[in-house]
Amino acid sequence: MSTHSEMVESEYKAHKVLLPLVFKQCDACGSDFAGAAESKQNKRAVLAWRKQVDGLLTGEEITALRKQYKLTQGQAAKLFGGGPVAFSKYENDDVAQSEAMDTLLRLVRRSPQAFWALVAEKSMESEFMGEPIKVPAQSNVVHLTAVRGSGEKSDSRYNPRPFRSFESGAEAWKQ
């Protein structure tokens, strides 16, 4: 048994193309067939071409976009939608993304601002901590590590008095 490929004409929406489709051939009797692996590979080749005809991003282009933003397939699904295995299917050309999904992907590919706006919209900032967190310069919020009264002072330098003026109404730091 050996694997062969043959250029086969495929037609879609009045477009024609020759695609290399694979099949297995019996070396003894010459009969040929496409097994599960060959069928899958052939379907992917056909769908990849149809996506191009429809003006959709190819699987390869989607992989490149995902890597552009250092996203895992799981993160991409959380961010863009489509379900947990959506990006595996899009990228392998097992499924064609919708036109709406394609538009969103193109927008984010074009614009890092759109990417960060989407991250904020989905409350996924914590998954992308590589980016510096911007704190407004005029912020006067003081973050204190709570020191619980255990009978002994763990840090004699700790003196909350200077912060009282900031926290007159709040009790949290005193606990």
CA 107 to chain CA centroid, Å, is: 14
DSSP 93: T
Nearest distance in Å: CB 29, Zn ion:
3
Window 40-59: contact mask with Zn ion (x via CB under 5 A): --------------------
Closest residue by Cα to residue 37 from 53, 15, 21: 21
Instruction: Show contacts with Zn ion in window 62-81 (CB under 5 A).
Output: none
Nearest distance in Å: CB 23, Zn ion:
13
Question: Is position 141 an interface residue for Zn ion (rule: CB under 5 A)?
Answer: no
Question: Is position 2 an interface residue for Zn ion (rule: CB under 5 A)?
Answer: no
Size, binding site for Zn ion by CB under 5 A: 3
Q: CA 149 → CA 146, 158, 161, 169, distances in Å?
A: 10, 12, 16, 20
Q: Which is nearer to Zn ion, 28 or 129 (CB)?
A: 28
Q: Which residues pair with 3 in a beta bridge?
A: 24
Please tell me the distance from the alpha carbon of residue 90 to that of residue 19, in angstroms, as a whole number: 19
Window 13-32: contact mask with Zn ion (x via CB under 5 A): -------------x-xx---
Q: Which is nearer to Zn ion, 26 or 170 (CB)?
A: 26
Nearest distance in Å: CB 25, Zn ion:
9
Beta-sheet pairing, 2-12 with 32-33: unpaired
Residues in the chain: 175
Contact set with Zn ion (CB under 5 A): 26, 28-29
